[in-house]
Amino acid sequence: MGYHSSRGRSALRALVGGLLLAGSFACAHAGPNDEGDKALAAHNYERAMALYRKAADANDPWGQVNVGKMYENGQGVAPNPKQAAIWYAKAAGQGNDWAQNSLGSLYENGTGVPKDVAKALALYKKSAAKGNNWALYNLARFQAEGIGMAARPADALKNFRKAAELGNSWAQYTLGDKYATGAGVPPSYPTAVAWYKKAADQGNAWSQFKLGQLYEKGTGVIQNDATAAKYYKASADQGNHLAQASYGLALETGKGLKRWNKKEAVRYYKLAVANPGAPEWVMQRLTALDGAQPKPATAAN
């Protein structure tokens, strides 16, 4: 059904730089949930919420998950993480793996419930045992970082791979990084590129940025400035500040593009420097093109 196949779960992890990443819910059900999905697709959030609530009140676990998600996202209702947790808990109690993962995320982050890493871990394990790709990814993070347990890098790698093979774009990105750096695996740029491309094809902004870097430098691929610019733009337009900086430079110089466009370069540079993690050279280029700028709060080299 639509909320589970087209509406994503977000990772909400420091591992991915605070980015909210979408996962996929794959399931099909009849009745109010299906009608709710149609309303959701049409951006009629109030009707979607009413239909999901009808299913949830009939003790349908997917209706309960959907109501929880609507409360978490503030669609059709005011955002209310406490209510999201209540509805996720109802569905999780019926064994729904997506509810278990979503509730685990709330416990991990202390959103709507007291922060409880042990509860988060237990919920991720239950969901992962059912093959939920987001739970496998989250469990792998805990194992890799030693969250709530001693670090278990070998188990983490196995679960990252399972999640990646099930289509989780952040697990695919993570494997790309591991093969690019040789972290726990034999280094292999071709393998890294393959995983980055799988994630990038799903719209993963960090994988798109990494591919832009590899194509710009000709690392593991045939050097191609046009392809690098394409990936930088795709990532930049999703808000990745490093990609905004790189695409701004491509626009300023015309590298990989049909011609330079300094007005657009300024626009992308300004987007980049709005993030405190923007490299210092971006402000230097912006000042050269557009004059003195307000000083950012912080800057990274």
Domain boundary among 71, 101, 130: 130
Q: How confident is the model at residue 26 (pLDDT cuts 50, 70, 90)?
A: very low
For the domain that residue 97 is a member of, what is the CATH number? 1.25.40.10
Phi, psi (5° rounding) for residue 279?
-60, 150
Number of compact structural domains in the chain: 2
Helix H or strand E encompassing 85:
helix 81-93
The model's pTM is: 0.86
Contacts of 71 (CB under 8 A, 6+ apart): 77, 79, 80, 81, 83, 84, 87
Query: Over the chain, what is the mean pLDDT?
Result: 89
What confidence tens digit (pLDDT) does each residue in 268-294 have? 999 999 998 899 999 999 999 988 887
* Window from 27-31, 67-71, 134-138 with minimum mean pLDDT: 27-31
**Looking at residues 35-63, what average pLDDT do you find?**
96
Query: Does some domain include residue 188?
Result: no
Query: Does some domain include residue 154?
Result: no
pLDDT of residue 17: 29
pLDDT of residue 293: 81
Structure tokens at 214: 């590899």
Structure tokens at 128: 């992962």
Four-residue CA torsion sign, 210, 215, 216, 217: positive
pLDDT of residue 301: 44
Residue 188 to residue 242: CA distance in whole angstroms: 24
Structure tokens at 167: 């289509």
**Looking at residues 75-86, what average pLDDT do you find?**
97
What confidence tens digit (pLDDT) does each residue in 102-128 have? 999 999 999 999 999 999 999 999 999
Query: Does some domain include residue 18?
Result: yes
Is the CB of residue 285 less than 8 Å from the CB of residue 269?
A: yes
Query: Does some domain include residue 147?
Result: no
Q: Using H for helix, E for strand and C for coil, what is the string for 240-290?
A: CHHHHHHHHHHHHHCCCCCCCCHHHHHHHHHHHHCCCCCEHHHHHHHHHHH
Res 4 pLDDT > 90: no
Give the range of the structural domain holding residue 214, as residue numbers without chain letter.
Answer: 203-301
Query: Does some domain include residue 279?
Result: yes
